[in-house]
Amino acid sequence: MPADPIIDTYSRRAHDYAGADNQASCWGLATRELWARLGPRPRDRTIADIGSGDGAALREMLGRAAPQTRLIGVEPAAGLRSIAAERTRDLSAVEIVDGRFEALPLPAASVDYLYSLMAFHWVTDPAAGAAEIGRVLSPDGHADLFFIGRFSGREFIKATTPVFLRRFGPARVFAAAGLRRQLTREEAAAVFTAAMPDRRVTVSEWYDTRYDTVDGHMAWWVRIEGQMLAAGGEDRADAEAEIRSAIGGLATPAGVPYTLHLLHVRVEAENGTS
Ligand SMILES: C[S@@+](CC[C@H](N)C(=O)[O-])C[C@H]1O[C@@H](n2cnc3c(N)ncnc32)[C@H](O)[C@@H]1O
């Protein structure tokens, strides 16, 4: 697969991602709250987590899955794969493999339940990713994907875009924004329905405003890493200071707000047995 700057960033910053600060940030909490919405069935024997990160959700799912269930974490960032492998070393039911939405390393019709948390917005080709999900799901298989939609983080975009534009110019700012494939609810519905015409696809959306400190928000640095990739040394430190100050300007008594636009794609077998 071609090099992907986002995956490289996740790999390089894997220890920050899996670390306590990031997991305690509003982003980490918002992600973990989604665990309650995952719904493996007792008859699901093969469960796959795509973009499984440090493997935290896989460990949680193991506790909920029926005995003899196999859990497969598919993760493209080598740094996160090795943390996940280390953290699941004693769990023989869990396997961590290299792969991404666009090319899942799983046989056709082999997965009973596929889920993914906060990863599909990084797919480089949403149609190819959705087609791969349709390919690997068993005829009776089902899926839940939660990811960021087009209208996430409007407050931050408004506050930081002038800084990015002044420092890096429009071409780089738009190229960086293009690294994340943020879909509207309607676009997500169209992509998944086209890829899986023989299954029932429903897409819901909601908004969730989170408050955190500037440091807490900056801990999930990968969100703006794209814009910063080409900035080095002093330039980068200056830009970061300006961004911190722009974000700090949004502070309310509850903290600095960031409104997530979340999409949930639910896939079921057409006959409704799932
Ligand atoms: C915000 S993290 C979420 C990780 C994990 N699901 C969790 O709940 O903590 C996004 C993940 O998506 C992965 N990712 C990036 N591009 C991807 C792609 N094209 N296919 C699958 N995963 C991808 C990253 O490496 C990272 O692990």
Give residue-wise pLDDT tens across range 255-273. 999 999 999 999 999 865 5
Task: Tell whether 142 is covered by a domain.
Answer: yes
User: Residue of the nearest CA to atom 20 in ligand 1?
Assistant: 100
Task: Tell whether 114 is covered by a domain.
Answer: yes
Distance 77 CA to ligand 1 centre (A): 8
% the chain with pLDDT above 70? 91
Distance 50 CA to ligand 1 centre (A): 7
Task: Tell whether 3 is covered by a domain.
Answer: no
d(CA 188, CA 151): 13
User: Residue of the nearest CA to atom 8 in ligand 1?
Assistant: 117
pLDDT band at 156 (very low <50, low <70, confident <90, very high): confident
- Closest ligand 1 atom number to CA of residue 4: 16
What pLDDT, on a 0 to 100 scale, did the predictor assign at position 274?
Answer: 53
Distance 17 CA to ligand 1 centre (A): 11
Report, in this order, helix, strand and coil percent for the chain, each rounded to 5. 45, 25, 30
Distance 10 CA to ligand 1 centre (A): 8
d(CA 168, CA 175): 11
% the chain with pLDDT above 90? 63
**216: domain CATH number?**
3.40.50.150
Asked if the model's pLDDT at residue 146 lies above 80, the reply is yes
Task: Tell whether 1 is covered by a domain.
Answer: no
Residue with the bigger pLDDT between 10 and 23: it is 10
What pLDDT, on a 0 to 100 scale, did the predictor assign at position 199?
Answer: 97
Q: Kindly state the tokens that stand for 53.
A: 């990160």
What dihedral do alpha carbons 131, 135, 139, 142 form, nearest 10°?
A: -60
As for ligand 1, residues whose beta carbon falls within 6 Å of it are 6-7, 10, 31, 50-53, 56-57, 75-77, 80, 100-102, 117-119, 122-123
Task: Tell whether 92 is covered by a domain.
Answer: yes
Q: In this structure, is the dihedral angle defined by the CA atoms of residues 211, 215, 219 and 221, taken in order, positive or negative?
A: positive
pLDDT in tens, 7-17: 988 898 888 88
Task: Tell whether 145 is covered by a domain.
Answer: yes
pLDDT band at 98 (very low <50, low <70, confident <90, very high): very high
What pLDDT, on a 0 to 100 scale, did the predictor assign at position 27?
Answer: 80
pTM: 0.91
User: Residue of the nearest CA to atom 22 in ligand 1?
Assistant: 51
Lowest mean pLDDT among 38-42, 89-93, 151-155: 151-155
Residue with the bigger pLDDT between 251 and 175: it is 251
Domain count, the chain: 1
User: Residue of the nearest CA to atom 4 in ligand 1?
Assistant: 53
Where would I find the beta strands (DSSP E) of the chain? 46-50, 70-74, 94-97, 111-117, 137-148, 199-212, 256-269
Domain containing 81 equals 12-269
The Cβ-side half-sphere exposure at 200, using a 13 Å CA radius, reads 9
CB atoms within 10 A of CB 79: 21
Distance 257 CA to ligand 1 centre (A): 23
φ, ψ of residue 206 to 5 degrees: the values are: -155, 165
Task: Tell whether 7 is covered by a domain.
Answer: no
pLDDT in tens, 211-250: 988 988 877 655 555 555 555 556 777 888 888 999 999 9
- Closest ligand 1 atom number to CA of residue 34: 8
Per-residue pLDDT, averaged over 16-21, amounts to: 82
Distance 53 CA to ligand 1 centre (A): 6
